[in-house]
Amino acid sequence: MDLRYTGAEEQFRLELRRWLARTLPTLGPKPSPMDWPARRAYDTAWQRMLYDAGYGGIDWPVEGGGRGAGPVEHLVYLEELERAGAPYVGVNFVGLLHAGPTIVAEGTAEQRARFLPPILRGEQVWCQGFSEPGAGSDLAALRTRAVRDGEDYVVSGSKIWTSHAEVADLCELLVRTGPENSRHGGITWLAMPMEASGIEVRPMRTMAGSTEFAELFMDEVRVPVANRVGPENDGWRVTMVTLSFERGTAFVGELLQSMELLRSMRSLAQRLGMWEDAETRRRLGRLGAELDGLWAMTRRTVSQAARGGAPGVGGSVFKLAFSELRQRIGQYGVDLLGPAALAWDELDPADGGAPLGNAELVDTWVNGFSRTIAAGTSQIQRNIVAERILGLPKG
């Protein structure tokens, strides 16, 4: 076991840190979270800067146009971006972390040439059309149909929880091409251009009041067969292949941000005169210990990936623990704030000092509720852990 970074890793860190120090001040002001076109412009401009500096597609293989960084370098990259307060991947999420890697692994040479460079350069934004109103945790029950008609598939159905749909150029879409009950064996992966006719995007308002995701309705949308990645009816495997790219780095930014958040909560507790209260202090200590434990787990997973170990279902262990911890951190924040946690907007601090930061803490608390649901509910994660790691029988 070794927690020290190698000289090469430290060199990589230093160069990145220098570049971030030079580059971040040139970035424009952060857009309003409600202004999707502005968010797209901001996030894609940042992606372009990363690309120009050789950091676009940091973990993508070189043959896919990426930097081909190993898992440890990837971890260092995420650490440095978080430390410098760089923008998150934002609207580039699906393209960079899911659709792109899928095409790298399963696409034809033509598809790679057509789809990958615009993702890396921040020119095309992707969204994800997987879940459906009737296919959530049970994704293989999806019913959106695609029927072959000459050189096109004709797609009809609906999708839900599609983030960034309003500003996306393409959608990675899972459709049913096999018989109605073909489950995993009758699904096909398509890249659907969002400007095609027959697509309706209906934004959904979350309990946080924002429109982070949308419903997607497709009425006889024509998608070229040339946009099918992998064989017909093999889309489930194509989708799962992407998961094998996961090297334990998925939550690094959020984990480090949570540590920073906890430190800011300590400052708040001190300012509010609550730090002398043992319960307040010790609750924070316990949350900190759990964050440190999950940070250690992250470093172990990344190290295992760096040794070339098969990425397992360990991600479920982390996701389960982290999403629930994040909720408890959110609850701690509103408990510190007391009545100030009733306001979404930033309140005037009664002591005349700096803003309390109540708006951010309320936001953290409310958005925490989605974490144990999105990307596999905690209940599904527990089933995965129990069945695939512990070997308990399927129910």
What is the Cα–Cα distance from 330 to 121, expressed in whole angstroms? Answer: 35
Which of 148/286 has CB closer to other proteins? 286
In the window 86-125, what residues touch other proteins (CB under 8 A)? none
- Our finding on whether 328 is near other proteins (CB under 8 A) is no
In the window 63-92, what residues touch other proteins (CB under 8 A)? 72, 75
Which string of x and - marks every residue 2-31 that binds other proteins (by CB under 8 A)? xxxxx--x----------------------
Which of 3/207 has CB closer to other proteins? 3
Which of 366/386 has CB closer to other proteins? 386
8-state DSSP, 132: B
- Our finding on whether 369 is near other proteins (CB under 8 A) is no
We find the least distance from the C-beta atom of residue 147 to other proteins, in angstroms, to be 37
How many CB atoms are closer than 10 A to CB 214? 21
In the window 244-263, what residues touch other proteins (CB under 8 A)? 259, 262-263
8-state DSSP, 320: H
Residue 343 identity (one-letter amino acid):
A
Active-site residue, selected from the candidate residues 246, 254, 346, 360 = 246
Chain centroid offset of residue 337 CA: 29
Which of 148/388 has CB closer to other proteins? 388
What is the Cα–Cα distance from 341 to 337, expressed in whole angstroms? Answer: 5
Q: What's the farthest any 2 CA atoms get from each other in the chain?
A: 73
Stretch that binds other proteins, among 179-187, 316-324, 344-352, 362-370 (CB under 8 A): 316-324
The yes-or-no answer on residue 166 being catalytic is: no
CA distances, 199 to each of 21, 172, 190 (Å)? 42, 14, 15
Which of 24, 84, 204, 297 forms a contact with other proteins (CB under 8 A)?
297
- Our finding on whether 294 is near other proteins (CB under 8 A) is yes
- Our finding on whether 310 is near other proteins (CB under 8 A) is no
Q: Please work out the total of residues on this chain that contact other proteins, with binding judged by CB under 8 A.
A: 53
CB contact at 8 A, 380 and 137: yes
Alpha helices (H) in 173-277, listed in sequence order: 235-243, 252-271
Stretch that binds other proteins, among 109-117, 143-151, 313-321, 355-363 (CB under 8 A): 313-321
Helix (H/G/I), strand (E/B), else coil: 297: helix
Q: How many CA atoms lie within 13 A of 315 on its CB side?
A: 18
Helix (H/G/I), strand (E/B), else coil: 234: strand
**Which among 381, 225, 246 has a CA at the least distance from the CA of 311?**
246
Q: Which positions are annotated as active-site residues? A: 246
Using CB under 8 A, list all residues that contact other proteins: 1-6, 9, 72, 75, 259, 262-263, 266, 278, 281-286, 288-290, 292-297, 299-300, 302-304, 306-307, 317, 320-321, 379, 381-383, 385-387, 389-395
